[in-house]
Copies of this chain bind each other. A is one copy, B any other.
Amino acid sequence: MDEAIKEAIKAAKKDEVPIGAVVVVDGKIISRGRNCREKSKNAIKHAEIVAIEKACKKLKSWRLENAEIYVTLEPCPMCAGAIANARIKKLVYACPEKTSNDGLCEKILKSTRLNHKVEIEEEPNELASTLLKDFFKKKRR
């Protein structure tokens, strides 16, 4: 999670919402991503999507069956869907997404429509949360 947070810090420095992600296989980081929606002017470029696309490229497969993804914030529906589509085994996130209060991330990852279910773990982290709070506090000013 520390490595995902490093990505979030890099995003904050570029004035992007500070969210970072890493994909891990067999205990090794195979790809990293950070949110770059503003700079890329691309609605798809959330941290998880960037990391998943790089992981697919690295493994030359759209199936990331033995992979885990560490993200600093609970994924939005698009990213939760991407994690499910890529057959990722486990999601670990630092901060729960409070405004997305519909519980959609869990609904998507545990949906009966999937042949495989994605494990979900919350790993609270003060720094990941402070980064987000500070970013939005600064934006509101």
Question: Which residues of A line the B interface, CB within 8 A?
Answer: 37-38, 40-46, 49, 52-53, 56-57, 60-64, 76-82, 84-87, 99-102, 104, 107-108, 111-113
In the assembled complex, the CB of A20 is this many whole angstroms from the nearest CB of chain B, namely: 18
The answer to whether A99 and B78 touch across the interface, beta carbons within 8 angstroms, is no
| Chain B nearest Cβ from A136, distance in angstroms | 15
Bound Cα distance A84, B78 (Å): 8
- Residues on B with C-beta less than 8 A from A45 are 62
**A121 vs chain B, min Cβ distance (A):** 20
| Residue numbers in B under 8 Å from A49 (CB-CB) | 44
Query: Could you jot down 21 A-B contacts, CB within 8 Å?
Result: A41-B60, A41-B62, A42-B53, A43-B64, A44-B44, A44-B49, A44-B53, A44-B56, A44-B85, A45-B62, A46-B85, A76-B81, A77-B80, A77-B104, A78-B78, A78-B80, A78-B85, A100-B111, A101-B112, A102-B113, A104-B113
